Amino acid sequence: MENCIFCKIVNKEIASEILYEDDELIAFYDINPMAPVHILLVTKKHVANISDLSDDDHALACRVLFAAKELAKKFNLDESGFRLALNNNADGGQEVFHLHAHILGGKKLGKMC
Ligand code: AMP
Ligand code: ZN
């Protein structure tokens, strides 16, 4: 998708420190961290958000959970805990309209909102 910042990172048009990558997902640090560990787990396919997922995306959605599990382990968040957040549309606070999950941890997080 043209003019999508996360597509540019996926396509390596913008350099980023890659923390995890497989054929469907990529993860990198959030540029504006809200916690000591703040990772973005991004689908390589351009899907705007959860509402834009199709019936063909079941496996992809499931993969996000399991990749988050692996990343949490890699960053030693599995025991201490972490938050997996997917912001959707305006009221959800979504700013980048390319499906991504925030993995937040490294401190005791506050309430959701
Ligand atoms: P959301 O509100 O869920 O759409 O969050 C988008 C996130 O992307 C924000 O936390 C931004 O700090 C982050 N972000 C935007 N541009 C970049 C970038 N080039 N590299 C890493 N993170 C980014
Ligand atoms: Zn995109």
> How many independent structural domains does the chain possess?
1
For ligand 2, a single-atom ion, the residues with CB < 5 A are 1, 4, 6-7, 46, 98
Q: Exposed (0-12), middle (13-18) or buried (19+): which is 59, by Cβ within 10 Å?
A: exposed
Please report whether residue 55 resides in a domain: yes
Please report whether residue 46 resides in a domain: yes
Do residues 3 and 46 touch, judged by C-beta distance below 8 A? no
Please report whether residue 111 resides in a domain: no
Structure confidence by residue, pLDDT tens digits, 6-42: 999 999 999 999 999 999 999 999 999 999 999 999 9
What DSSP state is assigned to residue 83?
Answer: E
The residue segments making up the domain with residue 72 are 5-105
Residue 62: CATH number of its domain: 3.30.428.10
Q: What is the pLDDT of residue 74?
A: 98
Please report whether residue 112 resides in a domain: no
Q: What are phi and psi of 100, to 5 degrees?
A: -155, 150
For ligand 1, atom 20: residue with the closest CA: 31
CA 56 / ligand 1 centre spacing (Å): 26
Structure confidence by residue, pLDDT tens digits, 51-101: 999 999 999 999 999 999 999 999 999 999 999 999 999 999 999 999 999
Q: What is the pLDDT of residue 48?
A: 98
Its pTM surpasses 0.85 = yes
The minimum-distance atom of ligand 1 relative to the CA of 30 is 22
